[in-house]
Amino acid sequence: MKSEKELKQVVREKYSKIAQQEAAVNAASCCGATSPSNKIYNIMMDDYSQVEGYVADADLGLGCGLPTQFAQISKGDTVIDLGSGAGNDCFVARHETGPEGKVIGIDFTPAMIAKARQNADKLGYNNVEFREGDIDDMPVADNTADVIVSNCVLNLVPDKAKVIKEIYRVLKPGGHFSISDIVLQGHLPEALKADAEMYAGCVAGAIQQKEYLGHIEKTGFIDITVQKSKAITIPDDILSKYLSAEEMAAFNKGDTGIYSITVFARKPGEKPPKTKVSLAELQQDDCAPGSGCC
């Protein structure tokens, strides 16, 4: 297996390429990162098209759930989206927060940040900002967010416990998250675990569901709830690139399950009262001329 730094570079390169691909190509792959399957259906993603706030140009077909649907976002909330891509979850979240709220998307791929900012410009949103950075070392101050969402991204980060600690840090007391991600029950074949492309495809980087939930609990979160779970099936035409016919048969008949889960948890404490932020303050703090954030 590659080092943490090498894995991050693989993911960055893959998702830079994905930013330039058609959404239909991404939707037929494992999180868009592997070669497309010849199957007609989407492997992981849920349909966003009927969700209020949906922006087709910002939907690259990379998700594995609908975290914003479960995120209990209120008007005026500050929301952070981890691994914001072209901005779709941010724009859905913005519909929920309204113009009086604020949404911050974080992504470590420059091409994705550029694409998201272009989409925000087209929409004329001045309270949606995109910041380039790692989600395991967020460019965000402590106690910033009321809500954090993420869609099929934590599995791409080698040190998941570190990301969860960062989520705890940037949430306000009483704040919460709703995150869709890929987890395992049982063990992947070594050929899948060792392949960097499958890591970038969300599968090889997934950990056991029990371990995933354990990291959340150990960090100090409460009210941990699996809001949704669905099984993921990798088509044989993708599996055949990594496994022999015999290995594929054993894998398909075995007890390993790949699941998309949406997890909710809350940071202990009382939420501070919301302070109203004026448009002038938003423009001054987050959308200064030439910043390219809006």
First to last CA, the chain: 39
How many domains does the structure of the chain reveal? 1
219 is a domain residue: yes
277 is a domain residue: no
273-279: long-range contacts (C-beta < 8 A, 24 or more apart)? Answer: 274/76, 274/77, 276/76, 276/100, 277/100, 277/102, 279/126
247 is a domain residue: no
280 is a domain residue: no
Q: Where are the alpha helices (DSSP H) in the chain?
A: 4-18, 23-27, 67-70, 88-97, 110-123, 160-170, 190-194, 196-200, 209-219, 236-239, 245-253, 279-286
C-alpha 232 chain-centroid distance: 17
272 is a domain residue: no
Q: What is the per-residue pLDDT across 51-79, written as a single tens digit (0 to 9) for each?
A: 888 787 787 777 788 999 999 999 999 99
Q: What is the per-residue pLDDT across 203-245, written as a single tens digit (0 to 9) for each?
A: 767 889 999 999 999 999 999 999 999 888 877 877 888 888 8
Distance between CA atoms of residues 133 and 83, nearest Å: 9
Where in the sequence is the domain holding 102, given as residue range(s)?
4-235+255-265
Distance between CA atoms of residues 74 and 78, nearest Å: 9
The sign one gets for the Cα dihedral 95, 96, 101, 106 is: negative
pLDDT at 139 exceeding the cut of 70: yes
287 is a domain residue: no
194 closest CA partner among 264, 148, 241: 241
Name 116's Cβ contacts closer than 8 Å, sequence gap at least 6: 58, 84, 85, 86, 87, 90, 105, 107, 130
3 state DSSP class of 7 = helix
Distance between CA atoms of residues 81 and 123, nearest Å: 18
The CATH number of residue 165's host domain is 3.40.50.150
138 closest CA partner among 91, 68, 83, 203: 83
276 is a domain residue: no
Name 269's Cβ contacts closer than 8 Å, sequence gap at least 6: 172, 173, 174
Q: How confident is the model at residue 156 (pLDDT cuts 50, 70, 90)?
A: confident
pTM above 0.95, yes or no: no
66 is a domain residue: yes
Give the mean pLDDT of the chain. Answer: 82
For 89, half-sphere exposure in the C-beta direction (CA atoms, 13 angstrom radius) is 36
- Residue 3: the pLDDT is 72
Please compute the mean of the pLDDT values over residues 81-105 and round it to a whole number: 95
For 75, half-sphere exposure in the C-beta direction (CA atoms, 13 angstrom radius) is 4
Q: How confident is the model at residue 20 (pLDDT cuts 50, 70, 90)?
A: low
Name 124's Cβ contacts closer than 8 Å, sequence gap at least 6: none
C-alpha 63 chain-centroid distance: 7
